[in-house]
Structure 1
Amino acid sequence: MHALEMKQICKAFEENSVLKNVDFTVKKGVVHALLGMNGAGKSTLMKILSGDYQPDSGKIFLSGKEVSFSSPQDAKTSGIGILVQEVDTSLFPELPVFENLADMPNEDFLISVSRQKSNAIKLVNSIGLSIKVEQLVQDCSLQEKQLILLAKILSSSSDLIILDEPTAPLSQSETSVLFNIIKMLKKSGTAIIYISHRLSEIKEICDSVTILRDGVTAYTNSVAATDIPVMIKEMTGSQSGLKGAAGKSSVNEEKLSLKVRNLSIPQKQTAVDFTVHSGEIVGIAGLVGAGKTELAQALYGLSGEKVSLEVEGKAVSVSSPSDAISAGICLIPEERRRQGLFIKHSVAENITSQILKKLSAAGWVNNRKQRNEAEGLMKQLTITPQSTSIAARYLSGGNQQKVVIGKWLKTDSSVYLFDEPTKGIDIAAKQEVFDIIGSLAKSGKSILYFTSEWQELLEVADRILIMYNGKMVKELSCRETSLEEIIYYASGGDQSGTNRTSDNKETYERKSSSVSI
């Protein structure tokens, strides 16, 4: 029996038609993948299902019964749970974990707190999360927040669960735990909608797949009958693949743009040394927890300590983002909605936020100049829809990411820090981000590309520095390395600092093949 039927769903924002008579069906006890390029309509369709938006037309049926939702609470009451990509929007950061996991307190406050803590401990243990339930959510890591929200959904006994990019912040072991939970839910008859840009995961965990393209249902089939090239073709309308960064290998070996010596990473109690040349794209690879984000934050003045650097040959001291920006360092953060955007403000306000002084006189922003600058940047970056007034929250993930990048393009930044820049965006948007990075490198900018998507580094970077447990353990040339070698060192393999040779090739291949990634 069908757990969900959405029939002829239509939705538009202003003059932008996002969903056009979309049909979407999910059976009970099935993991159904929902795929599509950024802007295809996936998020809008799921926001309608979860009560955030109301459709302009169309009908929704749960277990054969027609329903309509005027709020997320209505959807929750009807048995729909959602694990959103931006977890901070669904948690209360200033409350402890146990209160976030609580449903409703009992009349007796003391008994309620005791029961809340007891239930919370059972829930976090059930998903393999080692955390004190008294800890404030704002002090938890991104992957811990993701698992907390998953535990909250599980506690609600939902009949239909929406998982939006659920593994994006998770380690491999945490992903394995999630997949085991999904298999358990399937056996209990729960229907699951699984949204991800990691197509190998779709093949591993999903039973069926629906692909949206340009707001319409383009493809529905079993996953077994749909290989990855077919998924890409149906999402893009053509056979498509990543081509790397346009402008790669524009390194000026004679000019150092960034020199880092003994830079402290307080969270790891370690220090690192490295350099970046003008026009060079340096990948920083590592597993979740290796220290990549902490390094990016330290370079941007967010570590709480004063950092001494050389930028364009000049000694600088960075202890705040303001210092970093003045030194010519900018950050495209991992959590774009929370850290990179004023999510409720317009695209124009966001994309010009770093050049307001140039657009202002006597403390007032010239709206015409701001709009013209925004329109130029949006055209340059192919941001859609082409409306400077639309709020950033209504853009797809890929277009939001281009806004975050775009706000730095008219500044004097010489060093760009990209922290997981392709997280949660589709193949076409990834290619656009790669092209932007390549253009920046070609113009002489220096790029640090922090990612756990290692295959991307082989396509984007000139050189790769591998982090393990807060330390730089290996330097690799993209022309001479392989994905297997990156996996080997990033997973804590031989850290002697010597390159693999033909004499130890057999040992290397045996070790790398045993690594679980």
Structure 2
Amino acid sequence: MGKQLEMKKISIEFPGVKALSDVDFSVQSGTAHALVGANGAGKSTLMKVLSGAHVHYSGDIFIDGMKRDIRSPKAAQEQGIQIVYQEVDTALIPYLTVGENVMLNDMVQNMGKKQRVQWKELHNKATSILEDMKIHVPSKKLVRDLTLAEKQMVLIARAVSTECKFLILDEPTAPLSHTETTELFRIVNELKQKGVAIIFISHRLPEIFEICEEITIMRNGERVTCRKIEDITRTEVVENMLGKTMDEQFPEVNASIGDVILEVNGLSDAEKVKNVSLNIKAGEIIGLAGLVGAGKTELCKTLFGHTSITAGEVILNGRKLSLKSPHEAVKSGLALVPEERRKEGVLVQESVSANLTAASLGKFCKTFSIVDRKAEKEKAKETIASLGIKTPSGEVKVENLSGGNQQKVAIGKWLMADADVYIFDEPTKGVDVGAKKDIFELIAKLARNGKAIIYASSELSEIMGITNRTYVLYDGSTVIELETSKTNEEELLFYSTGGK
């Protein structure tokens, strides 16, 4: 028998919120155990308890029947528990190399012993780990120059570089392409064969059914059920997560399509975007389809003035724009809900109310630019209710919300600003099925109100479910325009992989 990890009667409270209530969880060495639930169900909180990030919990943790007191990340790591968080940029040091990030735990231990770092040995070790995992990233490359997918793989490499017995993966495939996900699953299966227990947090049910042996489902801070994968269906998983039957995921948009609002002609930036042309009409939702690395995010940022335009033009409502900054883009009537919400979409240390009004403070200014705080809070309260943001109050910091509710805040900010064109970059990444449906409803409502929508996603089922037309991107260029109702996922994938 391998090692068994058990969590019994785990409870934890935060100001105004009971996040976990008497939760039991267990995982066996050499297996992958899925941990799922709607955003805010408590799954990430439970894993933060296990990894030593939350210390004020009640309940017990056992490894091989022996009680362990895990009240710090160091204590967790000493028991062989490692966690790879979803938000990769918060866990990596951008100005250090790949090798230094992979071997960070060793570097910290050696510094504590006042030993000099053997740089050649460090990079040789890191290169060996990366090559063993078939991760083709140079050890001496700076982390800040990596793609999101490469950063994720570096984090996993760091975790397995230690004496890892229990590996927690929090939405590990969210930034990965199909090929990279296949490679990750190869690594997971190899780790299982070596006796490592994998705790797999994901909202992508097909992946869970492919890679996991067991599944624990949580709802509202409690464990709902624990089942063998072969004894449960996907429909039952969703219904257990939501506590109700799941209706049709994609809403009927039924928007009246008007005149062209946005035209993009021959657009290029200094790096990824090459000669992109597209147009969007009022009330229309267009898709930007493509694999991870196709240039979707770069195009969205270029349209929002985040990166410099080197060629081409952007015309909004018949007027050519000079987009030299996001501030100019906002003034022109453009809004962007970015892929990396914690890094770029919300101010995590600020309150929900402050975030919701951040893009439209001018509406709440009295004489001499003094903000009417009462009006600001009332409008924020109204938006919280209309979007169904789960928070005890508008004064709660955004960092304390679940991923899906953070995303609703990121969207709500721009709803209050009332833009003409809304750009959504991977808006459902790391979001549960219930919150996804809420986001689709919000986008459909914007279209019915005559807004033009750009929906960029590598989730082809979402492109098929919510858009009118689709532009497929490959290597930074638009390769084809398709009417969504007359295509399918197979054709989108064909063009996304370079088919002609």
- Separation in 1, partners of 2:226, 2:260: 52
- Give the letter aligned to residue 17 of structure 1: K
Structure 1 residues 50 and 231: alpha-carbon distance in aligned structure 2, compared to 1, 3 A threshold: same
Which residue number in structure 2 is paired with residue 43 of structure 1?
44
- Separation in 2, partners of 1:365, 1:296: 31
Deviation at 1:363, TM superposition (A): 4.8
- Separation in 1, partners of 2:78, 2:57: 22
Deviation at 1:305, TM superposition (A): 3.0
Task: Specify the SS of the correspondent of 1:398.
Answer: helix
Which residue number in structure 2 is paired with residue 204 of structure 1?
210
Deviation at 1:478, TM superposition (A): 2.1
Task: Specify the SS of the correspondent of 2:406.
Answer: helix
Which residue number in structure 1 is paired with residue 354 of structure 2?
349
451, 472, 475: which one aligns with 2:481: 475
> 2:197 aligned with 1:191, yes or no?
yes
Cα deviation 1:112-143 (Å, max 9, x = unaligned): 11111111111222222222222221121111
Task: Specify the SS of the correspondent of 1:409.
Answer: helix
Deviation at 1:19, TM superposition (A): 1.2
> 2:457 aligned with 1:456, yes or no?
no
- Give the letter aligned to residue 163 of structure 2: S
- Separation in 1, partners of 2:211, 2:269: 37
Which residue number in structure 1 is paired with residue 410 of structure 2?
404
Structure 1 residues 251 and 298: alpha-carbon distance in aligned structure 2, compared to 1, 3 A threshold: farther
Which residue number in structure 1 is paired with residue 101 of structure 2?
100
- Separation in 1, partners of 2:69, 2:396: 27
Q: Any unmatched runs of 5+ in structure 2?
A: none
Matches within 5 A, 1:320-469: 320-361=325-366, 362-469=368-475
Contact map agreement 2:36 2:203 (CA 8 A) in 1: yes
Deviation at 1:60, TM superposition (A): 1.2
Contact map agreement 2:335 2:421 (CA 8 A) in 1: yes
Task: Specify the SS of the correspondent of 1:268.
Answer: coil
Which residue number in structure 2 is paired with residue 259 of structure 1?
263
- Separation in 1, partners of 2:92, 2:3: 31
Matches within 5 A, 1:245-324: 245-246=251-252, 248-253=253-258, 255-268=259-272, 270-305=274-309, 308-324=313-329
Cα deviation 1:316-361 (Å, max 9, x = unaligned): 1112111111111111000101111111221111111112222244
Contact map agreement 2:349 2:398 (CA 8 A) in 1: yes
- Separation in 2, partners of 1:123, 1:129: 9
Matches within 5 A, 1:116-265: 116-246=122-252, 248-253=253-258, 255-265=259-269
Task: Specify the SS of the correspondent of 1:178.
Answer: helix
Which residue number in structure 2 is paired with residue 511 of structure 1?
none
- Give the letter aligned to residue 31 of structure 1: A
Percentage of identical aligned residues: 40
Structure 1 residues 487 and 251: alpha-carbon distance in aligned structure 2, compared to 1, 3 A threshold: farther
Which residue number in structure 2 is paired with residue 70 of structure 1?
71
Task: Specify the SS of the correspondent of 1:348.
Answer: helix
Deviation at 1:241, TM superposition (A): 4.5
- Separation in 1, partners of 2:63, 2:115: 36
Task: Specify the SS of the correspondent of 1:43.
Answer: helix
- Separation in 2, partners of 1:118, 1:241: 53
- Separation in 2, partners of 1:488, 1:277: 26
Deviation at 1:37, TM superposition (A): 0.7
TM-score (norm 2): 0.95
- Give the letter aligned to residue 398 of structure 1: G
- Give the letter aligned to residue 200 of structure 2: Y
Task: Specify the SS of the correspondent of 2:271.
Answer: coil
Following TM superposition, the consecutive aligned residue runs of length 4 or more in structure 1 with deviations greater than 6 angstroms are none
- Give the letter aligned to residue 149 of structure 1: L
- Separation in 2, partners of 1:67, 1:365: 51
Which residue number in structure 2 is paired with residue 498 of structure 1?
none
- Separation in 1, partners of 2:382, 2:499: 47
- Give the letter aligned to residue 390 of structure 1: V
Task: Specify the SS of the correspondent of 1:44.
Answer: helix
Q: Any unmatched runs of 5+ in structure 1?
A: 495-517
Deviation at 1:2, TM superposition (A): 5.4
Cα deviation 1:415-441 (Å, max 9, x = unaligned): 111000000000000000000000111
Contact map agreement 1:328 1:414 (CA 8 A) in 2: yes
Which residue number in structure 2 is paired with residue 112 of structure 1?
118
Bigger shift: residues 420-429 or 479-488: 479-488
Task: Specify the SS of the correspondent of 1:12.
Answer: strand
Task: Specify the SS of the correspondent of 1:378.
Answer: helix
- Separation in 1, partners of 2:226, 2:47: 17
- Separation in 2, partners of 1:149, 1:295: 27
Task: Specify the SS of the correspondent of 1:100.
Answer: helix
Deviation at 1:55, TM superposition (A): 4.5
Contact map agreement 1:265 1:470 (CA 8 A) in 2: no
Contact map agreement 1:2 1:25 (CA 8 A) in 2: no
- Give the letter aligned to residue 330 of structure 1: A
- Give the letter aligned to residue 117 of structure 1: H
- Separation in 2, partners of 1:456, 1:464: 11
Bigger shift: residues 416-425 or 348-357: 348-357
- Separation in 2, partners of 1:124, 1:150: 10
Structure 1 residues 83 and 117: alpha-carbon distance in aligned structure 2, compared to 1, 3 A threshold: same
Contact map agreement 2:17 2:392 (CA 8 A) in 1: no
- Separation in 1, partners of 2:71, 2:390: 28
Task: Specify the SS of the correspondent of 1:232.
Answer: helix
Structure 1 residues 330 and 137: alpha-carbon distance in aligned structure 2, compared to 1, 3 A threshold: same
Contact map agreement 1:212 1:218 (CA 8 A) in 2: yes
Contact map agreement 1:244 1:460 (CA 8 A) in 2: yes
CA RMSD of aligned residues (A): 1.7
- Give the letter aligned to residue 43 of structure 1: S
- Separation in 2, partners of 1:366, 1:45: 40
- Separation in 1, partners of 2:115, 2:78: 24
Which residue number in structure 2 is paired with residue 499 of structure 1?
none
- Separation in 2, partners of 1:64, 1:367: 55
